[in-house]
Amino acid sequence: MQEVKIPAALVKGHTKTLILAILKEGPSHGYAITHEIKRRTEGKVAFRIGTLYPILHELEADEMVVGAWVTVSDERPKKVYEITSKGLEELERGLAAWKQMSVAMFQVTGERAHDVKTGAS
């Protein structure tokens, strides 16, 4: 099976879940979040910084994350985000919705998750 970058429209509805999943592991700044998502998905999901920051600001306004400016030695200040209890609840909802959608997709297509991942038929 040929590797395909996941279309932005498919990722869009799950962007918050992806960001919150990274932040669940610990505080991080925007560039590190995008880098980690890209690394973990082997490049199949990649955000532009210009896409990420409005979502982080929305998460912050909704009290799902808190941000604080941090300066380390001679580096530029970076805004580091940390997930809140409200963000953890949203992450759980987002993961549950994704799991339900995945199951529904496999039920409709007749595929199994293992077949899709490995390219088996």
* Residue type, position 27, single letter: P
Q: Which residue, chain included where needed, has tokens 């549950």? A: 96
Domains in the chain (CATH in brackets) are: 8-118 (1.10.10.10)
What pTM, to 2 d.p., does this model score? 0.83
| Torsions phi, psi for 38 (to 5 deg) | -60, -45
Q: What is the pLDDT of residue 116?
A: 52
Each residue of 23-41: pLDDT tens digit?
999 999 999 999 999 999 8
How far apart CA 108 and CA 114 sit, in angstroms, is 16
Each residue of 72-117: pLDDT tens digit?
888 889 999 999 999 999 999 999 998 998 888 888 988 766 555 5
Spell out the residues 6+ positions from residue 29 whose beta carbon is closer than 8 angstroms to its own.
Answer: 70, 78, 79, 80, 81
HSE-CB of 120 using CA atoms within 13 angstroms? 6
pLDDT tops 50 at residue 120: no
